[in-house]
Amino acid sequence: MKSTLLPLIISILALAACAPSENKTENNKAQGLKTQSQDANPAASPSANTEHAHEDSQQAAEAPKAKIFFISPKEGATLKSPIKVEMGIEGMEVAPAGELKAQSGHHHLIIDGQALKAGEVVPKDEQHIHFGKGQTSTELILKPGEHSLTLQFADGTHKSYGPELSSTIHVKVE
C-alpha cells in the first residue's frame, strides 16, 4: 500500500508546486522576504500611470458640469472678524476626504491665493484650509484689510478639480 500512495503523494505535491501562487507576496512576507510591489512603485506598473491619467481626465471632464459658489459672504462685502463663510456646490456631492467617488469631493478655502490646476494637490497650511470632513461652513478670523477668498473643490485625495470648480470673492475686513 505504501508503494501505491507514494507516487500519488509525489504527484499531488508536484502539481501544487507548479500551480501559480495567488498569495506569493503574503507568503514572502510571512517568511521575512522582501518583494517589490507594483502598488509600492507606480512607475513599475504601466497600468498605474494609465489609471492616474484616466482619473485626471475623468476629473477634468467632471468639473465643468458642476458649479461651486459662496453662499456667504457676498462679493465686495465689508465685514468684521470672525467672518461666517458658507460654501455651496451644485452638480457634485460633498463627501469626506479619503473617499474616491465619482462626482464628489470636499471644499478648500484659499485665503489671498489663486485656484489650483486640475490634479494638483491642495497644500495644507494657514493659507489653504481643508474641510475634509465634508463641512460646508466655517468661521474665519482675518486681519483688517482687503482679502480674496477662493473656494476650491477637490477629490477625496485633495486633488483639485481645477479653476472650473473654484470661485473667488473679494471682501474687506474692518
State the chain's mean pLDDT as an integer: 76
Domain containing residue 91: 66-173
Of 5-14, 22-31, 136-145, give the range with the top mean pLDDT: 136-145
CA 75 to centroid of chain Cα atoms: 29
Q: Is residue 84 part of a domain?
A: yes
What is the structure's pLDDT at 99? 80
Q: How does residue 65 score in pLDDT terms, banded at 50, 70 and 90?
A: confident
Q: Is residue 56 part of a domain?
A: no
Percent of the chain with pLDDT over 90: 61
Q: How does residue 7 score in pLDDT terms, banded at 50, 70 and 90?
A: low
Q: Is residue 37 part of a domain?
A: no
Q: Which of 102, 122, 109 is nearest to 60 (CA)?
A: 102
What is the structure's pLDDT at 150? 99
Q: What is the CATH number of the domain that holds 169?
A: 2.60.40.10
| CA terminus-to-terminus distance, the chain | 98
Q: Is residue 22 part of a domain?
A: no
Residue 167: Cβ within 10 Å count: 19
Q: How does residue 108 score in pLDDT terms, banded at 50, 70 and 90?
A: very high
Angstrom CA distances, 57 to 16, 53, 118, 128, 161, stand at 44, 6, 9, 24, 10
Mean pLDDT of 118-137: 97
pLDDT in tens, 84-95: 999 999 999 999
Cβ neighbours of residue 64 under 8 Å, at least 6 residues apart? 164
What is the structure's pLDDT at 35? 29
> What is this structure's pTM?
0.65
Q: Is residue 137 part of a domain?
A: yes
Count of structural domains, the chain = 1
